[in-house]
Structure formats: structure tokens, C-alpha cells
Amino acid sequence: MKSYIAKNLVNALEVLNKDECEIVAGGTDMLIQNRSHTGMSIGYKTNVLYISLIKELDYIKEDSHYIYIGATTKLESILKNKITPIILKKIIHEMASPAIRHTATLIGNIANASPAGDSIVGLYALNAKVRCQCINGERIVPLHKFIRGVRIIDLKFNEMITEVIIPKNDFSSIAFKKVAPRKSDAISKMSFVGLLKIEDDLLLDLRIALGAVYITVVRNKDIESKYIGKNIKELKENIDNILKDYEPLIKPIDDQRSNKEYRKKVALNLIKDFLLNV
Amino acid sequence: MKDISKSINKVDNDEKISGSAKYIADFVMDGMLYAMTKRSTISKGEIVKIDYPQLPDGYYIINHKDVQGKNVIKVIFEDWPVFTDKKISYLYEPIMLVIGPDKNILTQLLDSIQITYKEETPLFDWTDSVIDYHFDKGKGNRIFDQADKVIEHTYHTGYQEQAYIEPQGFIGYPEGDKTTLIGSIQCPYYVKNAVKQAIGEKDENVRVIQSTVGGAFGGKEEYPSLIGCQLAVAVKKIKKPIKLIFEREEDMSVTTKRHPSKTVFKAAIKDRKIIGLKAHVSIDAGATIGLSGVVLSRALLAVSGAYTVDHLDVSGNVFRTNTVPNGAFRGFGAPQMFFAVDMFVEHVAKELNQDPLEFRKKMLVKQGDRTSTNGLFRDPVLMPEMIEKAIKESNYLKKIEDYSKKGNYKGIGMSLFYHGCGFTGSGEKDVIKAKVKLKKDKNKKVYILVAAVDMGQGVKTTFRKLISHMLDIDIKDVIYHNPDTDFVPDSGPTVASRTMMIVGGLLARAAKEMKKRWNEEEFIVMKEYEQPDYIEYDEKHFIGDAYPAYSWGVNIVEVEVDPVTYQVDLKKAWSVYDAGKAIDERVVLGQADGGLAQGLGYGYLEVMNHKNGKIMQKNMTDYIIPTAMDLCDMDTFLFDNPYAYGPYGAKGVGELTLIGGAPAIAKAIENAIGKNVFKIPVTPEYIMELINHD
């Protein structure tokens, strides 16, 4: 196994172009997935490319329509930056302990593509996109198309994710709930993000995203658009219908952390609770 | 003389905070090899064939053929082989050690050893009873003839993992003819005696030394004897230093846990009172019996909880299954029973439309009452005053009234409990026979020579404090090294809340004599355990005094349940304990906070289960113990109630503080959701089930 340390983006893309590598940014998941006995080196089963020294990818910036977060930007920097969407701040604050926040990256959480990845739920709701670059060019892919399944992403062997792009939006009501077995340092049993915008009693935007209740994050724009344009009273009258719409999409599993009955029931409770509190 | 309870700094604060304390992982020796364990991949069957790879130079395999003594671990019931010869009775049963200098090569060797099995259907149901106990008090089952009503409920408790900070580990090395082990252990002499038997050596040829221990909670009572024997077999053959330390996942997958239990209770009711109880307790031993019989005994003895019931019919079984062996854990059977009995009495009161608190108070044990085995509660019982204190501090009466109104999802619960101090039954007299020595040297330094282990509970501090206090000398002149069996007598294992009361009691007697002879320049005082003459116990028939003394406790816990996610939010906890007399108040409060945290975790958070014999929560990511964020303020109040044979009146405290957590939080949750709870942990999944199924 070879390991490379990239000093800049070009350097990283060159390495990827000639050698297939797993990319390590913060490493907080990679190290655990490849752990070995105390005193032994990390048990990587592939070549690795360390990118954390690439300074040019450590940024949060904005223009009039988008926020851009680079691949080596730590969660802690994102949490502390004033241009970060509030919902994302809420998520980062709850998803990771201080030590992890100072090491892990947002893009690492995307690339890991765990169904229990908390930030992904927020990024789905925010209509985030990822920029993938290779030596020959780049492409921008909506996140929900980029993540294909449990730990499966649409990344070619010579590409790396360099940036996540988040459209700017205002919401009048936001909610995040990490349903974890305890209050800190725990992997979610399921997670919920609700965003909506109301103006003059009319629902202008509605976004609901659910984590760890299916192989990827559950978000359905058809259901959302059915209720956009309704007034608050109509929205509340339709809560049962909305729950019925979501019910078939929520197909969680039993595992060592929880069971499917609980995950499903709580997912529906959280949608209901979010809408009732509008 | 100043009050001994007044706190001093723990003597090991500096070395533990600075990181200079030497744990077993910190020991490195010249030419040291590493050992890794090859384990079974099936739960039941036989080994048919083993194909070994070519071993590189300097690499070794150690298996049952290398065991020169008896291939069985010396514990209460001897059915646990050092290495299996061919029979496999649980998943990940140890088959051999692979030993050598490079862990990378060791892991490759482990992977390339091919084992062919003849697999059999494993048994996971509780059908293979290996121990069957029964005893009656008063009229036993016949009391039910007088009942006008019978109430029956069944209670379940799950596994609990000790989750010590430092995993199991030893380093072993030869010293001439001697095989020496340094380990993270609770009981140096258990290991020594087990190793003697396994390698077939004379007493002077086995030496066991305790390293600084990073937590144990019972998990390092008998399990270290197993890997200590394996390592000793290897050291004796290879004659080089060898280190065997578990990784966290290995540790959690293969080491002993708290016995899951099922308790069926029946109450004979007459005139809206409990006139008799019938209880049957089942516990899951896992693949070996080990000390499960004693765990069952401790559970059965506590059958009527903190209450006196004149007529009892008590029985229980230990079941063997093809799962990881279960063993010692702080509380040792008592947490299972106190959960069941304290819930049951509460449930009975509710079903009889009686105020549960008044119902329970009327049944409380009083001084002079008979225990479940017709022993005597000889000493004063302060429970009424302790309950009053807990009620006052927590504003319990007002809160329970408010919270009992439907739909506010707030709850408060109170548990009442005791713990029998020291070994169960005649263990101290017949089995342990503790000895302690106190030595004074020419420089007026006093050495505490006992085998008691400081595993974080603070005995290094409290023993030194005790002796300095009694001899009226500076604590710096009292020396207490980690036990080394070459230098200290067998004062027994560091278990059963016996350390201060029994070992400390003997030390106090020794110190008394030393004080009288203080003018002598250099001398040793030795003391041996003498059972108080009033204590008599018939172990076979469960008759008499099972314990010399009892510590008592009241826990009140307040919670709020989230009606959307069914998660439990701990608001506050209040505890009142009678542990005789605190030798150091802060040390006792440390036990109080830690014990309650562990008891609460057992009650609402700590899920562990197996799937086809495989532990599903095998690391600290999936096995959820409470963090500081989950816990709440805990107020603790101590009542002095000195016990004649404990030093300054001290009784046991280590286990007591864990026992009441689970029933208190389970009752608080009941109060919050208006449904009865019958099993722990009370997870959000279970709360959802209770709320949604009428």
C-alpha cells in the first residue's frame, strides 16, 4: 500500500490520475474503518491520499446566490463562520464532539455516505451540490444524485470532491433533531431536518429530509410541492395526509442501535411535530 | 481527634492526572513478545482439524497441550478450560495463543490458521438448568391458601457491560524458576491460585503483581484468571516476557458481563396487604457456570427487597447457554433482584389502589426483623429517617402528585434497597480466611501488607488514612504499594463491598495492636479473619445470617420523557445512604456518583444483546453508557450508623450505590408515561411500545 500526501490541489489530482487511492481528509471515519491493533500502523487496504494539507481547499466563501465550502475545511470552522446556514450550524453542533469537529470535514461526511450521516440530511434539505474535479476538468452534481446508496458515491477513480455548494435561501422555520441513543458522542438512530418558508400566511417552501430511515436520505420534492401554496390552516388540516404520503418512503432497518418500528414512528412524529408547531 | 470522614486528597491524584501512573499497556520489557488469541468462529460443536501455517522463527503457538497442570480455571465452579481441547461451547472461545515479536505477522498467522469444525445447533433458550435452588421462609407456598387475591408479574433485566476504562491485560515473564505476571486485576490471589493449578507449580514459583488498574467493576474479578493462566502457560514454555492485552472490541465480545435475568413474582394478598411472596429467578450463565451460583444466591437472598415479608417461597435456576460466559459485576445479582422486587411491590400497591409510598413504608425492614433466610437484621435500620430526608430534599410528595396528572410527561421515582456487605454466607470464614499484615520499620514507616487492589475506588487513600488516623502518624509515613503476592498475605479478593469493612477491619485491629507496641523498633502484626460468633449460615439450606451487616439506600430520580421521540431526560437525582461511617467522605461521594450513574445507565440506556451468540454492541460507539451530558445533578446525603466490626463503623459502599438506580429511574418513567415498566433498560423503543399499546 502506498500513501501520498498532497500539498496542493494539482498535486492531488495528479496522484489520483496515476494511482487509485482512498482520500483521507480529517480521517475520523477512515481511521476507524481501518483500525488495527494498538501499536500497529493503520490497516488501510488500499492506497491513500492525504489531502488535509491542501490550504487552497480550506475556505468558506459566498457570492450572491451560493455558499461554497472547501474539501479540507474543518467542521469547527464551518460552525464558527457567520455565513454558514443556521440549520447546518445546528447539525454540526450536535453531530460531533469538539475533538471531532476540529478534525473532521463536511465533505468527508458526504464521501463516507453513511445513512446515519447527520450533515447529509441537512445538505439534502438545502439542495446542496458537490463539485468533483479531476486533472481534465470538473463537474457539479446535486448531492442526492451523487450519493447512490449505503457508502456508495458517484466518484470516478481519478476524481475528488473539492467543494460543496449550498444555494442561499431564507426560511421562516427550521428544525433539526438528531435522535441518538444519548445526548452526545453517539451515532443517530435517525435524524430529521425540516425547513419551511411562510409569507402572508402562505407556504412558499417546504423541505423535509430524514436520515437513517432508508439506504440514503429520504427527501421527496413531489410531496413537498403538493402542499406548497397552501395557507397555514390548510397545511395543518393536511398533516395526516402528509404523514400518509411519507409513510411508504420510510423503510428503516433493525440494527444494534434501534429497530424499524421505532425509527418509522419517530420519523412520522417528528414531521407531525414540525408542522404542528408552524 | 478529628472526624475521620473529613476528606483528604486522593493519594494517587497526581500520578493519575499527570499521566505518570503505569498501566499494564505502559510496561515494556527487553525482548518482549506479544500474544494474540485464536478464537472459535462457531457457537457450538467440535474442532475436527486444525491446519497450521509454517511458523517463522521466534513465533509460537500455545494451546491445551501445553497446559501442564489442570486444564481448568480455578473459580467457584470449575468448568472453564484454559484452552479448549476440542469442544466449542460459545462463539470466540479461546483455542490457542499465537505469540511472537511482530503484531503484523501475528495477525497474518491468526488469519492463516484453518480450523475445521463439526458444528452443532447452539442452545440460546434457557432450558439447560445447571443449578437449582429453593428455600422457604415461614409458611412458604402454603401461605397462598390464605390469600384472597394473587397478583403475578414477570420482570426482565438485560446484559450489562462493565465498560472499564482499561481493557483486560497482563505481561508475564520468567524469574528463574518462577513465573511472574503483572496485570490489571482485582484479585491477585485468585490469579495466583488459578495459575498454580494450571501450570502445576509450587506456591513459591508463581508471583502475581497488580499494575495500576483503570477500572474493573467486577469485570476483573474472575476473568483475569483465564488469560493469566493462558499467559503463564506460554511464559513457562517460551521463557520470555510476553504481553497479552485485549483491544476494546475483543474485550467486549469475549469477557464476562452481568447475567441477564427473568424473575416471576407472585404475591399472596389478604386484606389489601402482601402476606407472602413466591418468586422464581432465572439467570443466564452463558457457556460456563463459574460463579453464577453465587450470583443467583445474592439475588434470591434479596427477594423481599428492603421489606419484611414473613412467608416466602423462593427458587431459582442458573441456565447454561452457548453464549459468552457471564460473571461478576458490581452488585452481583442484587441489581437484578432489587429492580424486580421494588417494581413488583410498587405495582402491587397500585393494583390494590393503595398509595405506593405508604404501602412500602409499612413493609420496611425494622431492626430485629427476620431476613429472607431467617437471619436477623441486628443493627439499627435508619430507612424511615433516610426516606424522610430524601422526600424533603426532592420535594417528592408535591412532585409525584403533580406528575401523576396525565399528559405532562414528567415523572419521579423512588427506590429503596440494601446491600449485604462482604461475601455471601460463610465465604469469609470457610473460603477466603483473610490475613493482613502491618509492618513497622526502623524509620517508623508503616507498611500495609494486603492484597486489596485500588481500581479507582480509592482504597489506597482510605487504607492509608485509616492507619495514619489510628496510629496518629502522618499519612506520608504509611506505605501501601500495589499488591505483590511475594510480599503480601492473602487478604482476599477486592470484591463484594468487603474491602473496607473486612480487610479494613482487620487492619484496624492490627493497628490497635501496633499502637500498643509502638515502642518496639521493628515488627509485624498479623491478623486473621474471625467471624462474629453470632453469625451462622447454612449455605445448603439457605438458613441463617447470609451477611454480617447491611448497607442501606434511597434513590429518588426525576425525569422528563419526550412524547415525540420517547427519549428520557434525567432532571435530577437525590440519594441517601447508610454505609456505616465514611472513612473519607469524598471517596464515598465518588462511589455514590459513579455507582448511581452506572445504575441509571443499566436502567435506561445500556442496551446489550446477542444475536446467535454474537454480542451486537461490541464497542463504545454502540454500547451506550451515559456521558456527562446525559447525567444530572446528583445530591447525596450520608447517614452515620456505625457497625461494630467495621473500622470506625464502616460498612460496604461500592456496590450499594449502583443497586437503586435502575428501579428509581424505571419508576420515574412509569410516573411520566402512566404505564407500568417490566423490563430494563427502559429504552425509547420500549417506552414507545408501552405508550402505543394499551
- Per residue in B4-54, pLDDT (tens digit) is 999 999 999 999 999 999 999 999 999 999 999 999 999 999 999 999 999
* Least confident interval from A38-47, A73-82, A131-140: A38-47
Cβ-defined contact of B688 to A259 (cutoff 8 Å) = no
Alpha helices in B200-264 (DSSP H): 223-238, 248-254
Domains of chain A: 3-167 (3.30.465.10), 173-276 (3.30.390.50)
Provide the shortest C-alpha distance from residue B185 to chain A (in Å): 20
Q: Does B562 touch chain A (CB under 8 A)?
A: no
pLDDT at A256 over 80: yes
Question: Residue B424: which pLDDT band, with cuts at 50, 70 and 90?
Answer: confident
3-state DSSP percent of chain B in helix, strand and coil, to 5: 30, 25, 45
Half-sphere CA count of B135, side-chain side, radius 13 A: 19
pLDDT value at residue B536? 87
Q: Does A93 touch chain B (CB under 8 A)?
A: no
pLDDT at B427 over 90: no
Place of cell 501496633: B514
Q: Is B642 exposed, middle or buried (0-12, 13-18, 19+ CB in 10 A)?
A: middle
User: What value does the mean pLDDT take over residues B76-91?
Assistant: 96
Pick from A38, A184, A258: CB nearest B685: A258
Provide the shortest C-alpha distance from residue A62 to chain B (in Å): 35
Smallest CA-to-CA distance from B169 within B215, B217, B227 is with B227
Q: Do domains B261-424+543-692 and B427-528 have the same CATH topology?
A: yes
Per-chain mean pLDDT for chain A? 96
Of all residues in chain A, the one with the smallest CA distance to B35 is A37
Q: Does A105 touch chain B (CB under 8 A)?
A: no
pLDDT value at residue B1? 63
State whether CATH 3.90.1170.50 applies to domain B32-121+168-245.
yes
Cβ-defined contact of A266 to B627 (cutoff 8 Å) = no
Pick from A37, A257, A269: CB nearest B103: A37
User: What value does the mean pLDDT take over residues B153-166?
Assistant: 98
Smallest CA-to-CA distance from A155 within A56, A21, A43, A29 is with A21
Contact A104, A74 (CB under 8 A): yes
* B43 three-state secondary structure: coil
Per-chain mean pLDDT for chain B? 97
ipTM: 0.96
CATH code of B427-528, in short, is 3.30.365.10
Question: What are the extents of the domains in chain B?
Answer: 32-121+168-245, 261-424+543-692, 427-528
Question: Residue B2: which pLDDT band, with cuts at 50, 70 and 90?
Answer: confident
**Dihedral angle over CA of B315, B320, B325, B329, nearest 10:** -10
pLDDT value at residue B407? 86
Provide the shortest C-alpha distance from residue B254 to chain A (in Å): 16
CATH code of B261-424+543-692, in short, is 3.30.365.10
pLDDT value at residue A1? 87
Q: Please identify among residues 19-58 of chain A the ones whose CB lies closer than 8 Å to any CB of chain B.
A: 36-40
- Per residue in B582-641, pLDDT (tens digit) is 999 999 999 999 999 999 999 999 999 999 999 999 999 999 999 999 999 999 999 999
User: What value does the mean pLDDT take over residues B439-461?
Assistant: 98
Contact B460, B21 (CB under 8 A): no
Provide the shortest C-alpha distance from residue B590 to chain A (in Å): 23
pLDDT value at residue B100? 98
Q: Does A185 touch chain B (CB under 8 A)?
A: yes
Pick from A182, A259, A273: CB nearest B685: A259
Contact B592, B575 (CB under 8 A): yes
* B169 three-state secondary structure: strand
- Per residue in B331-383, pLDDT (tens digit) is 999 999 999 999 999 999 999 999 999 999 999 999 999 999 999 999 999 99
What's the grid cell of residue B159?
446484559
Contact B664, B556 (CB under 8 A): yes
Taking the C-alpha atoms of residue A273 and residue B565, their distance in angstroms, rounded to an integer, is: 10
* B195 three-state secondary structure: helix
pLDDT at B553 over 80: yes
CB neighbours (10 Å) of residue A3? 15
Pick from B107, B565, B607: CB nearest A266: B565
Provide the shortest C-alpha distance from residue B285 to chain A (in Å): 22
Q: Please identify among residues 626-645 of chain B the ones whose CB lies closer than 8 Å to any CB of chain A.
A: 626-627, 629-630
Q: Does A273 touch chain B (CB under 8 A)?
A: yes
Question: Residue A91: which pLDDT band, with cuts at 50, 70 and 90?
Answer: very high
Cβ-defined contact of B25 to A266 (cutoff 8 Å) = no
Cβ-defined contact of B685 to A181 (cutoff 8 Å) = no
In angstroms, the Cα distances linking B93 to B46, B73, B78, B106, B631 are 12, 14, 16, 18, 36
In angstroms, the Cα distances linking B259 to A161, B287, B331 are 49, 12, 11
Name every residue whose Cβ is closer than 8 Å to that of residue B672 and which is 6 or more positions away in sequence: B403, B408, B409, B410, B411, B559, B560, B561
Taking the C-alpha atoms of residue B81 and residue B593, their distance in angstroms, rounded to an integer, is: 38
Contact B416, B339 (CB under 8 A): no
User: What value does the mean pLDDT take over residues B421-442?
Assistant: 93
What's the grid cell of residue B83?
484452552
Cβ-defined contact of A261 to B104 (cutoff 8 Å) = no
User: What value does the mean pLDDT take over residues B535-545?
Assistant: 92
Mutate to test the interface with B, among A261, A262, A270, A275 (most CBs of B within 10 A): A262
Provide the shortest C-alpha distance from residue B25 to chain A (in Å): 9
Question: Residue B535: which pLDDT band, with cuts at 50, 70 and 90?
Answer: confident
pLDDT value at residue B399? 98
Contact B283, B259 (CB under 8 A): yes
Contacts of A186 in chain B (CB under 8 A): 621, 624
